[in-house]
Amino acid sequence: MIATGIDFVRAARRVREHIGQRHRYIHILNVARTAVRLARVHGADPTQARTAGLFHDLARLYPAERLLRECAERGMPIDGFEHANPIVLHARLGAELARDWFGVGDEAILSAIRKHTVAAATMSPLDEILYLADGLEPGRAYAGRAEMLALAFDDLATAMKAHLSEALAYQRERQFTPAPQMLAALDHYAHMEPALSECEGLREKRSA
Ligand SMILES: [Fe+2]
Ligand SMILES: [Fe+2]
């Protein structure tokens, strides 16, 4: 865990050297900052959020064959979806690199890194924070991003449901096969109880 600002600067420098691409490094810093802001609002640990953000994309620029090879060398199971779409392995491999290279032993942080690309049926608030920060950081340019980020500040689970629905609609439009974990995640969020704020919104509408 990165306990101090000096540790963060040192670790960030190593991440920047490893990534070697300005665009991706700026994304990483944006994700870390957005994750910290979300953590503060939702009562999660900002240090865990910042650490998860800084290390989430360590393997993002690896070509497909390297992702498959390094995961296989580590004895990591690779499912059919991952074989067909090796890019998603950067999340699980990235967690391994965060542990090996930076000594991240906190399972909560490693879980958030592993789940940041395809989500999962069961997600902790920190998992949700990193997933949403990754998709909604200010460098992402698409219609509705800022509104969705505002929703994430308001309610994590509602934002997860909205973000997953949009991501799956986008993939279906392009006839991409969605990750099974993503479908399981949407199934979970689609069936949860509405958030208190949503209930209050409905009540207001009914009484109007
Ligand atoms: Fe990523
Ligand atoms: Fe990312």
Tens digit of pLDDT for each residue in 144-189? Answer: 999 999 999 999 999 999 999 999 999 999 999 999 999 999 999 9
Question: Which of 157, 155, 135, 156 lies closest to 146, judged by CA?
Answer: 135
Query: How many Å lie between the centroid of ligand 2 and the Cα of residue 72?
Result: 23
Domains and CATH numbers, the chain: 5-147 (1.10.3210.10)
Cα gap 156→175, rounded to integer Å: 28
Tens digit of pLDDT for each residue in 44-63? Answer: 999 999 999 999 999 999 99
Cα gap 177→203, rounded to integer Å: 38
Query: How many Å lie between the centroid of ligand 2 and the Cα of residue 15?
Result: 13
Query: How many Å lie between the centroid of ligand 1 and the Cα of residue 179?
Result: 14
Query: How many Å lie between the centroid of ligand 1 and the Cα of residue 87?
Result: 9
65 against 3, higher pLDDT:
65
Query: How many Å lie between the centroid of ligand 2 and the Cα of residue 62?
Result: 13
Query: How many Å lie between the centroid of ligand 2 and the Cα of residue 50?
Result: 13
Give yes or no for a contact between 168 and 182, defined as CB atoms under 8 angstroms apart.
yes
pLDDT at 131 over 70: yes
Q: pTM of the entire structure?
A: 0.91
Cα gap 146→54, rounded to integer Å: 22
Q: What is the pLDDT of residue 192?
A: 82
Which ligand number lies closest to the CA of residue 130? 2
Which ligand number lies closest to the CA of residue 88? 1
Query: How many Å lie between the centroid of ligand 1 and the Cα of residue 201?
Result: 34
Query: How many Å lie between the centroid of ligand 1 and the Cα of residue 14?
Result: 18
| b/e 182-207 (16+ beta carbons within 10 angstroms → b) | bbebbebbeeeeebeeeeeeeeeeee
Query: How many Å lie between the centroid of ligand 1 and the Cα of residue 205?
Result: 39
Which ligand number lies closest to the CA of residue 28? 2
Q: Identify how many contiguous H helices and E strands the chain contains and give both numbers.
A: 12, 0
Query: How many Å lie between the centroid of ligand 1 and the Cα of residue 61?
Result: 9
Which ligand number lies closest to the CA of residue 94? 1
